[in-house]
Amino acid sequence: MLRIRFTRTGRKNQPKFRIVVAEHSAPVKGAYLEILGHYLPIAKEKTLVLNKERVLYWISKGAQPSDSIASLFKRQGMDNMDQYIGRRDFQRKNKKAIKAEAGAKPDTAPKIEKTEKAAEPVKAG
């Protein structure tokens, strides 16, 4: 399966990304089929250079954009990118909120409290 994804270039603390088409099993910094553009997130104004014709061509051939690429394309005004953006709600909620949302009762096991005091040491006099 083909993916449209980022590949990181640039130096330490100066990220730059290429937008490439690659096989999903290929390493992130490995081989790719074509460069579709680049993204500079740390510039004063975030810069995105993109060849939209080639992006639409690869999507028509079955390539799927990653979540971050799809959200970037959506901000650029490309249609039908919502279908490629996955839900990330499960990462933001704690376990109790997930259980409550699913209708399960949170853990109601009784808490055991120790009421016995430890024996005070006897002073030899």
Record the tokens describing residue 58, joined without a space.
């690869």
Q: Which residues of 66-84 are buried (b: 16+ CB within 10 A; e: fewer)?
A: beebbebbbeeebeebeeb
Q: Could you give the CA distance from residue 30 to residue 22 in angstroms, rounded to a whole number? A: 9
The pLDDT score that the predictor gives to residue 54 is 92
- Asked whether the whole model's pTM tops 0.85, one would answer no
Written as one letter, the residue type at 41 is: P
In order along its 125 residues, the chain shows pLDDT tens digits of 899 999 999 899 999 999 999 998 888 888 899 999 999 998 888 888 999 899 999 999 999 998 888 888 888 888 888 888 876 555 555 666 667 777 655 555 555 565 666 566 666 65
Distance CA 69, CA 36 (A): 11
Domains defined for the chain, CATH in brackets: 2-64 (3.30.1320.10)
What DSSP character marks residue 43? Answer: S
